[in-house]
Amino acid sequence: MCECQYEAGLISIIIPVYNVESYLRKCLDSVIRQTYQNLDIIIVDDGSTDHSGQICDDYQRIDSRVRVFHKKNEGLSSARNMGLQYVKGEFIGFVDSDDFIDEDMYESMLHEMKDDVDIVICGRRISFPKEMHQKSKVAFCTPKCVKMDNVTAMEKFLQNKNISMAVWDKVYRSSLFQGVLFPYKRVCEDIPVTYKLIAKSRNIVHLGKPKYNNFHRSGSISRQEFYYRQVDYAVFAGQICKDVAIEYPQLLKQAEALYIMCTLVTLKKIQSCQKRILYTDMEKRILKAFCHMYFRILRNPYILSKKKREILECILERNEKW
């Protein structure tokens, strides 16, 4: 990330793009039509093979605030990291190219960015394709606008409560990103970045309103068949757990609960995938870890009883199978 003097009041919005021609115009329209106009819109085309790159160039021609960078395909983290190199603004936001945002999202969030606040968060609306037969819902909201100190915000993040792991429902002071990059060619890359940014922050404000519209398309990375790199979900949570033990020891049980839940999600994805046999060794390692940690899991008040029963059932199945 550049060491330049950031322009006061300017929000640099980083939008990574890869093969999303059906959704891209709606996304970009929602950004350029923001009621807050002082925007630096950085679009990184990560080697798209459809018409996404051309659409990006079209928007660069019609709006002087838009800057487009084309690169070879290296994944979401690489695209975001490239965007961070070109940030001009005092603040940074992220928008995924198959999502869209309310027209007053950035105006509402910047209104709460007082001198002692480093991150402002909003809730999200989640919608699904018709073929998935799921109702839209609101998530990661608070009943009202609330200001939190660093430790309170970290606790809510670890509990995955009100504060999500995603980077795109937040606005940050650009200075927070000094020394922070997205891990290269990893998945669930938002987890360690969001953790680091909260840890570096002073105070955080949650708007208490949903302003970001997250579309769960069936072909997105997060909804594909399990593959090896998705174990990063549990790996990153494990790394956070080790860090919390040193930096926030009073939150260790919450961090352990996050690690257990991320690991359980990983295990369930392995067990339900068509190529489960390919991940037998990984499945065994996860179940062995659950066996060693079982009494700590039982005593952890931040793990729901339902999840504790699921873990016990997995352990019992392991003993019968192996």
Q: Is the pLDDT of residue 228 over 70?
A: no
Residue 2: pLDDT band (50, 70, 90) is low
* pLDDT for 220: 52
Q: What is the pLDDT of residues 118-152, one digit of tens each?
A: 999 999 999 888 777 678 899 999 999 999 999 99
pLDDT higher than threshold 70 for residue 305: yes
CA 187 – CA 264 distance, rounded (Å):
17
**Whether the Cβ atoms of residue 13 and residue 87 lie closer than 8 Å to each other:** no
44-73 average pLDDT score:
98
Segment among 10-19, 97-106, 157-166, 216-225 with least mean pLDDT? 216-225
List the beta bridge partners of residue 117.
203
- Burial class, 96, CB count within 10 angstroms (exposed 0-12 / middle 13-18 / buried 19+): buried
Does the pLDDT at position 229 exceed 80? Answer: no
Residue with tokens 């700590």: 296
Query: What pLDDT, on a 0 to 100 scale, did the predictor assign at position 227?
Result: 66
Res. 39: pLDDT tops 90:
yes
Structure tokens, 61 = 């021609």
Domains of the chain, with CATH numbers?
Answer: 7-222 (3.90.550.10), 246-321 (no CATH)
5 pLDDT band, cuts 50/70/90, is confident
Cα separations (Å) of 139 from 84, 110, 111, 136, 266?
27, 21, 22, 10, 22
Taking the C-alpha atoms of residue 159 and residue 220, their distance in angstroms, rounded to an integer, is 25
Contact status, residue 126 vs residue 137, Cβ threshold 8 Å:
yes
pLDDT category at 225 given cuts 50, 70, 90 is low
β 203-215/117-127 pair status: parallel
Average pLDDT of the chain, as a whole number: 92
Indicate the SS3 state at residue 145: coil
Strand, helix or coil at 306? helix
Going by pLDDT thresholds of 50, 70 and 90, the confidence category of residue 219 is low
**263-294 tens-digit pLDDT:** 999 999 998 888 888 889 999 999 999 999 99
